[in-house]
Amino acid sequence: MMNWNEHRFNFLEKARQQVAFYLEDINTPIGKTVNLTLTGLILISLTSFIAQTYPLSDVVHSRLELLDFVILICFTIEYLIRFWVADNKKEFIFNPLSIIDLVIILQGYLRFLNIGYLRIFRWFRILRLIRFIDVKISIFRIKSEDGVILARIIFTLLTIIFIFSGLIYQVEHPVNPEVFKTFLDAVYFSVVTMTTVGFGDVTPISDMGRFLTILMILTGIALIPWQLGDLIKQLLKTTNQIETICSGCGWSAHDKDARFCKRCGTPLKNS
């Protein structure tokens, strides 16, 4: 008979595996609820950051700060849980997504020390959505490979625009508040700059702002053609594919001679 310690170990191990499964799963109701909740918290926190760039009353501002702190606690708990369920703790710590999570969490706590430049890192919180991009694809019922690639391209572009907008706002607003009044002004400047339109009606005056402008231009020149090129390649590839819906995962883009689903391995009905 197993003693108490063995029972406890087996229970904890089973619980760890179950939690690890639901953190990555987007098909079962529990897994989808967990991931949708985490995605929702990220979006709420980003909305709060944007709202704080506009003139607000002290009451509203304090409530948004409280909301940010509550969400920060949730993110901290999530990080600790992910660390607990990880099979390889060292690999988890040095995983790029985990590093992003940790930096954002530390920034959230250190900002209470009134270290101004640390607030720049809060705009990188959108990168946490990389972990949950499959959730959004599932929500919008995007099944074709073209649709998934297009969704990833749009997400990449929006993420880069958001980060650059947040950074340029954080850098320019203190020294150039009449031009960079709100986050929308920063978004306008980022889009115009990255598309190399360059109207010239909004210009940064700080050295860091000008440096970010250079990065925006270079990113726009390199990123947009590259992403569009990937999409065109995929569109050409689909000419050799047929629509056969997998009974296991619902994926529909398969090669003509495919016998098994390329995503989950389920035998296809036409094979």
- Asked if the model's pLDDT at residue 266 lies above 60, the reply is yes
- Domain count of the chain? 2
CATH of the domain at 209: 1.10.287.70
Residues 42 and 126 in one domain: yes
pLDDT in tens, 177-205: 888 998 999 999 998 888 877 777 888 88
Q: Based on the domain organization, do 127 and 143 belong to the same domain?
A: no
Report field, pTM of the whole predicted structure over 0.95:
no
Strand ranges in the chain using DSSP code E only, listed in sequence order? 241-243, 253-255
Q: Are residues 182 and 117 in the same domain?
A: no
Query: Residue 19's domain spans which residues?
Result: 1-133
Which of 133, 156, 183 is the last residue before a domain boundary? 133
Q: Kindly report the number of other CB atoms within 10 A of residue 151's CB atom.
A: 16
Instruction: Based on the fold, state whether residues 77 and 126 are members of the same structural domain.
Output: yes
Which CATH number goes with the domain that contains 109?
1.20.120.350
Query: What gap in Å lies between CA 33 and CA 138, rounded to an integer?
Result: 12
Tell me the pLDDT tens digit for each residue of 30-49: 888 888 888 888 889 889 88
Same domain, 147 and 25: no
- Structural domain includes residue 260: no
Mean pLDDT of 146-151: 68
Structure tokens given for 184: 């929308």
Average pLDDT, whole number, for the chain?
A: 79
pLDDT digits 0-9 by tens, 53-67: 888 888 998 999 899
